[in-house]
């Protein structure tokens, strides 16, 4: 698509108010950001050379959404629904997002987890249209020039993956870009980042997936993964190019392996405006559920003992964010770490083991905790008993690992234990909510990673809150953009967690629910954005918003107005023929 077919006219808040179109005739229908389909008015059809190219009747957006909803709901399988929505997006961006907005709770599971996993696995065989950018060793030297071709799109958020750590399915090569596409659609839904400000990027450094390497249909770079210095050099070249072309854009690292996720996040903390959602987003949304539990129990966070079962990127990310919150609550860093235990496939993580560097922060010295000197106490059940765990979090991917014995041990440590089996998909969840309620006689406070139907116990129906990162990352993105934050601080995610928790209603808390409902995503993202933006001001990393001429000057009311006005809504915009 040439650069002079269309453009955007922004208002003082950096939001798009008009679309400038330099093309005419059938070409207009082929520009997904411009196309209105049957919703083009008669005047627009005349101006744009679309007379006779469409049926005479003008059908408005609301009518189009109703028709599209009937079509997508008529599809038999989830992957067919995914294909329909993605195809709709490729031809009419506004209609696709208006459709998703109309049924966000249902369709989020189609455009993202769990259906997007199938799309990742079938990426090459079901390929229809290119979206985003694919960097590989054959073009990484041209990364800066390639990125500059997108500069007319005014990129504000990029989701970037190396495709290795796709949740539950691992190394998926070039197909991982489908995750980026889904995440960016949620940035639009939650934070109102217009689709033309979003860029999905695959860093294709090869794959060690034998099935892909031997698949004639595979579209990715057909080589084994780069490792060591070659890998780091590749990432470095991309990061340098991205910073040079989009110095004010947010870069979200996505689905890197646990071996690389922490190293890359930490390497570019100050060179890029970046964060890793698998680490920090997971940590923040989990912390939000814990904070809600503290409000229900009327207890203090700093008085709890935490155990994270599963010491991968997500699990250590949860431990990190709890640690940040405990320090903000007044504990020293060492006091905070002493209250957080991590457990992997070999048991409680201790300093005397040969472990990955990222696990060291929460590894326990057996001399400081004598009960750890007995190997029998390293198991999950014994660790819960010996440490007096009151908050148990599962990120292990080991279905059923929160056994009845483990849950009952938690009940002995707290009248209302917090138990959060977060692993996805449902088959990998550490315990079913129904069982946790049964084993604790309804006393446990539960949140899950997968969506679950409400559970009835003793005549009371309990909505099961889902710890979904979507409550965090869109708002974090908007807050960073609106505040002009020069870097993404760990405290942003504590602020985000408090904002998410504040959105849980009193009625939900009365039933023990720890998370807001998904249909409130837009409202939640707005509160998260404001909390993050003001955190940026508080920590001295804010600057005038480069995307807007309206200046917030660090004032909360003006910041709130800026963030509100920056958000794009899925509505057809006026088109100006040029």
Q: What is the pLDDT of residue 231?
A: 97
List of E strands, 82-213 = 133-135, 157-161, 198-203
Query: Do 219 and 174 form a contact (C-beta atoms < 8 A)?
Result: yes
Per-residue pLDDT, averaged over 346-360, amounts to: 94
The torsion defined by the Cα of 170, 175, 177 and 183, in degrees rounded to 10, comes to -60
**Which region holds residue 399: left if phi is over 0, alpha if psi is between -120 and 50, else beta?**
beta
10 has catalytic annotation: no
Q: Buried b vs exposed e over 213-247: b needs ≥16 C-beta within 10 Å?
A: eeeeebbbbeeebbeeeebeebbbbbbebbbebbe
Q: What is the pLDDT of residue 379?
A: 97
Six-digit token string for 265: 């996040």
Q: What is the pLDDT of residue 2?
A: 43
- Three-state DSSP state, 160: strand
For residue 425, whether the previous peptide bond is cis, meaning omega lies within 30 degrees of 0, is yes
pLDDT tens digits, 106-141: 999 999 988 998 999 999 999 988 889 999 999 999
When pLDDT is cut at 50, 70 and 90, the band that residue 1 belongs to is very low
112 has catalytic annotation: yes
C-alpha distances (whole Å) from 62 to each of 33, 170, 320, 385 are: 18, 40, 45, 57
Q: What is the pLDDT of residue 166?
A: 87
pLDDT tens digits, 197-249: 999 999 999 999 999 999 999 999 999 999 999 999 999 999 999 999 999 99
Fold of the domain built from segment(s) 280-467: Rossmann fold (3.40.50)
pLDDT tens digits, 408-432: 999 999 999 999 999 988 889 999 9
Per-residue pLDDT, averaged over 8-34, amounts to: 92
DSSP output for 275-303: EEIIIIIHHHHHHHHHHHHHHHHT--GGG
**Of 36, 81, 183, 364, which is the active-site residue?**
183
When pLDDT is cut at 50, 70 and 90, the band that residue 152 belongs to is low
Cite the residue boundaries of each domain of the chain with CATH code 3.40.50.720: 280-467
Residue of 361, 277, 265, 267 lying closest to 311 (CA atoms): 361
The yes-or-no verdict on residue 151 having pLDDT over 80 is: no
Q: How many CB atoms lie within 10 A of CB 24?
A: 14
Q: What is the pLDDT of residue 169?
A: 85
Six-digit token string for 197: 């400000």
Q: Which of 186-190, 259-263, 447-451 has the highest mean pLDDT?
A: 186-190
Six-digit token string for 184: 């960016």
The yes-or-no verdict on residue 265 having pLDDT over 80 is: yes
Percent of the chain with pLDDT over 70: 99
Task: Please give the DSSP secondary-structure letter assigned to residue 370.
Answer: G
List of E strands, 106-249 = 133-135, 157-161, 198-203
Q: What is the pLDDT of residue 207?
A: 97
Residue of 28, 25, 24, 22 lying closest to 9 (CA atoms): 22
The torsion defined by the Cα of 251, 256, 258 and 264, in degrees rounded to 10, comes to -40
165: number of CA atoms within 13 Å, CB side?
19
Looking at 179-188, 325-334, 456-465, 559-568, which range is the least confident one? 456-465
Looking at domain 60-256, what is its CATH homologous superfamily?
A: Malic enzyme, N-terminal domain (3.40.50.10380)
pLDDT tens digits, 28-83: 988 999 999 999 999 999 999 999 999 999 999 999 999 999 999 999 999 999 99
pLDDT tens digits, 153-175: 799 999 999 999 887 789 999 99
Six-digit token string for 180: 């980026």
Q: Which alpha helices (H) appear in 192-225, and where do they start and end?
A: 210-213
Cite the residue boundaries of each domain of the chain with CATH code 3.40.50.10380: 60-256
- Three-state DSSP state, 575: strand
């Amino acid at each position: 698509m040439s650069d002079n077919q269309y453009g955007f006219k922004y208002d003082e808040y950096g939001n798009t108010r008009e679309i400038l179109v330099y093309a005419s005739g059938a070409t207009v229908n082929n520009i997904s950001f411009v196309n209105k389909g049957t919703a083009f008015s008669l005047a627009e059809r005349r101006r744009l050379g679309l007379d006779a190219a469409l049926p005479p009747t003008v059908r408005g957006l609301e009518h189009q959404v109703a028709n599209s909803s009937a079509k997508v709901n008529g599809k038999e399988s989830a992957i067919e629904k995914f294909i329909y929505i993605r195809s709709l997006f490729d031809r009419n961006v506004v209609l696709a997002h208006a459709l998703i907005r109309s049924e966000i709770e249902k369709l989020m599971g189609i455009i993202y987890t769990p259906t997007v996993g199938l799309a990742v696995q079938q990426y090459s065989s079901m390929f229809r249209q290119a979206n985003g950018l694919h960097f590989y060793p054959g073009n990484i030297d041209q990364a800066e020039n390639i990125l500059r071709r997108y500069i007319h799109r005014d990129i504000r958020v990029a989701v970037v993956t190396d495709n290795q750590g796709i949740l539950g399915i691992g190394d998926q090569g070039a197909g991982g870009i489908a995750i980026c596409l889904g995440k960016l659609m949620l940035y639009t839904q939650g934070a109102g980042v217009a689709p033309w400000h979003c860029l999905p990027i695959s860093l294709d450094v090869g794959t060690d997936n034998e099935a892909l390497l031997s698949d004639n249909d595979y579209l990715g770079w057909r080589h084994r993964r780069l490792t060591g210095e070659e890998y780091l050099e590749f990432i470095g070249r991309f990061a340098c190019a991205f910073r040079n072309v989009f110095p004010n854009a947010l870069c979200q690292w996505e689905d890197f392996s646990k071996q690389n996720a922490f190293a890359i996040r930490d390497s570019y903390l100050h060179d890029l405006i970046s964060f890793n959602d698998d680490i920090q987003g997971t940590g923040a949304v989990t912390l939000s559920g814990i904070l809600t539990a503290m409000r229900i129990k009327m207890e203090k966070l700093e008085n709890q003992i935490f155990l994270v079962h599963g010491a991968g990127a997500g699990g250590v990310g949860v431990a990190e964010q709890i640690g940040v919150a405990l320090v903000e609550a007044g504990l020293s860093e060492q006091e905070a770490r002493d209250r957080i235990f991590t457990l992997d496939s070999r048991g409680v993580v201790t300093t005397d083991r040969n472990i990955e560097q990222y696990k060291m922060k929460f590894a326990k010295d057996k001399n400081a905790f004598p009960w750890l000197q007995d190997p029998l106490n390293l198991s999950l059940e014994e660790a819960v008993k010996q440490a007096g765990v009151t908050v148990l979090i599962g990120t292990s991917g080991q279905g059923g690992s929160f056994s009845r014995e483990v849950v009952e041990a938690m009940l002995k440590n707290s009248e209302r234990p917090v138990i959060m089996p977060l692993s996805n998909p449902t088959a990998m969840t550490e315990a079913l909510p129904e069982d946790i309620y049964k084993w604790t006689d309804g006393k446990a406070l539960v949140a899950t990673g997968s969506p679950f139907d409400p559970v009835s116990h003793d005549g009371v129906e309990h909505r099961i809150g889902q710890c979904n990162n979507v409550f965090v990352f869109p708002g974090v993105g908007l807050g960073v953009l609106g505040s002009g934050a020069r870097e993404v601080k760990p405290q942003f995610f504590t602020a985000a967690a408090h904002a998410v928790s504040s959105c849980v209603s009193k009625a939900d808390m009365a039933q023990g629910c720890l998370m807001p409902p998904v249909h409130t995503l837009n409202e939640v993202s707005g509160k998260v954005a404001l909390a993050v933006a003001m955190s940026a001001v508080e920590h001295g990393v804010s600057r005038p918003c480069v995307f807007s001429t309206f200046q917030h000057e660090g004032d909360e009311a003006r910041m709130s107005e800026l963030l509100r006005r920056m958000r794009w809504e899925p509505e057809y915009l006026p088109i100006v023929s040029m």
